[in-house]
Amino acid sequence: MDKLRVRVYNVRFGDAILIFVPDKGVDGKTVTRHILIDVGNAASGEGGLDDVFNPVIKNIMEVLDGRGVDLYIMTHEHLDHVQGLLHANKKAFPQGNLSQKLKVEHAWLTASSAPDYYENFPQAKEQKFRALQAYTDLETLKANLAAANEPLPAAVLAIMEINNPRATKDCVDYLRNLTPKTWYVYRGCDLQGKHNFQEARFEIWAPEEDTSDYYGRFQPVTLGFAAAPGKAGKSIPVTPMPPPGVDAQAFYDLVKARKEGWADNLLAIDQAANNTSIVFCLEWRNWRLLFAADAETRSWKTMNR
């Protein structure tokens, strides 16, 4: 019996998902087609943790065994989702020949990662500009605190790194060029000709093409030491408990940062990117599988509407 298989790699923080889909070949016989989602892990200095990452890439190459990826999907522009293939191309394939070994037929990237996107969506451009400005302020704050020997908590630095627009840019550039058949997709776009599946059907649930709705509010920040308690940020009356499986120290560091207010901006930047995640439903022989990436509440509310 044909089996659809979903292999979700443990990359700790990030995503790497390989889906094997039995489908009809041109001669009517069953072939296995492959969907690869993201491939990335949280940044640790230069390009990720090799001990986590290299076995994943190695396994992907082994199971594909020279067959191509029919559809590669970049869900959103966060480093822990986009940096894997560029990293592998530089390190695991030092000759830079990963793209010759990993053939990609079609690639779906978010509409908002298209090179000309912000020319066409001025409201989203304005929001993006505000997010970048808030990020620059956070970098100033980070530098000022480090100079005063009061570095930001490690968990905060990790979220900053994931959202670093400069580091992400190189990765997205690499992914844009995996194949000449790169499509910038969004809810409601016509998927005809944007994949080669015969039986499986795709439905994109999110994001909207105009992403301006996904941005939250940004607070003014104090760029030296933390703002006076309760001034910029909402105070948290009861100390919350870390959820199961979450590092307690990292959690309390984050709570402390939130109390100081400016961390709201970092979370707003993080959420805006998460809410541009491609959410898609894969329908195959009476099965419906939903892949939601990092979509957060605002995206789910929009989908609900």
**Pairing status of strand 16-24 against strand 30-38:** antiparallel
User: Helix, strand or coil for residue 296?
Assistant: coil
Task: Count interface residues toward Zn ion (CB under 5 A).
Answer: 3
Using the rule CB under 5 A, is 294 a contact of Zn ion? yes
DSSP 3-state of 80 = helix
Binding mask 107-126 for Zn ion (x = CB under 5 A): --------------------
Least separation in angstroms between residue 217's CB and Zn ion is 19
Nearer to Zn ion, 4 or 292 (CB): 292
d(CA 211, CA 127) in angstroms, rounded, equals 9
Which of residues 208 and 294 has its CB atom nearest to Zn ion in the complex? 294
Residue 70 or 294 having the CB closest to Zn ion? 294
Residue with smaller CB distance to Zn ion, 75 or 127? 75
Binding piece for Zn ion, criterion CB under 5 A, among 16-24, 38-46, 62-70, 291-299: 291-299
Show the binding pattern over residues 67-86: x = contacts Zn ion (CB under 5 A), - = does not. Answer: -----------x--------
Dihedral angle of Cα 22, 23, 26, 30, to the nearest 10 degrees: 40
Q: Which is nearer to Zn ion, 64 or 79 (CB)?
A: 79
Asked if residue 85 lies in contact with residue 175, where contact means CB atoms within 8 angstroms, the answer is yes
Answer yes or no whether residue 274 interacts with Zn ion by CB under 5 A: yes
Determine how many CB atoms are found less than 10 A away from the CB of residue 173.
13
Pairing between β-strand 5-8 and β-strand 16-24 as defined by DSSP bridges: antiparallel
Neighbour count for residue 273 (Cβ, 10 Å): 25
Residues that bind Zn ion (CB under 5 A): 78, 274, 294
